[in-house]
Homo-oligomer: A and B are copies of this chain.
Amino acid sequence: MVGVKVERLLINYKTLEDFKRFQAYGTQELSMLEDLQNEIVEDDSESPFYGIYYGENLVARMSLYKRSAKFDHYFNPPQDYLVLFKLEVLPDFRGRGYGKLLVDYAKESQLPIKTNPMIRPDANEFWKKMGFEMASYNIERDFGENPFIWMPEGVKEAIQPPAASSQQPKTKKTKKEDK
């Protein structure tokens, strides 16, 4: 794709305004805006976001965060890995391979990747096409997430302890449960 490239996004008022067009705009973006307003971060600081511009317009983005091996509960052996989140292409720019371009960029690091697809009927299909697989669900680790993982050669999924895959949470017992 000529002229289309992935860039690391800078935190400034234009970027934060651009972010408002994405569905996953939330607490993270609000916090970035506040940090900028309070001069906790400088204008044009590097952000954890990467994106694709079409002319002046940000039309796709994702966030990448590198976690250290000591927090790894997804891969075997435990190792540094990337958490990829808020991957999103604006509706008018879908079907052009921009999502794949972002995912390929993340894969270049050759670190395993964990993501949590947004709830969209075709999300699972997309991640499978990208070479990701559905991780075994573990309530204590994943809560409401739908973890998908990508593993470079030689990396396997972490083995889940049998107890962790149980459906029995240690939730409260209250008087309402005497049915």
Contacts and interface: CB of A to CB of B under 8 A. Distances in A.
- Count this chain's copies in the assembly: 2
Interface in A76-109: 82-83, 85-86, 105, 108-109
A47 to B, nearest CB: 6
A83 B105 CA distance: 33
A139 B45 contact: no
Interface in A119-169: 119, 134-137, 139-140, 142-147, 165-169
B171 A66 contact: yes
Contacts of A170: 65-66
B145 A46 contact: no
Given A27-B146, A144-B116, A48 B169 contact: yes
A111 B173 CA distance: 12
Interface in A37-54: 40-41, 45-48
15 contacts: A7-B176, A28-B139, A28-B146, A31-B136, A35-B165, A40-B165, A48-B171, A64-B171, A65-B140, A65-B169, A82-B171, A82-B172, A85-B144, A105-B176, A108-B176
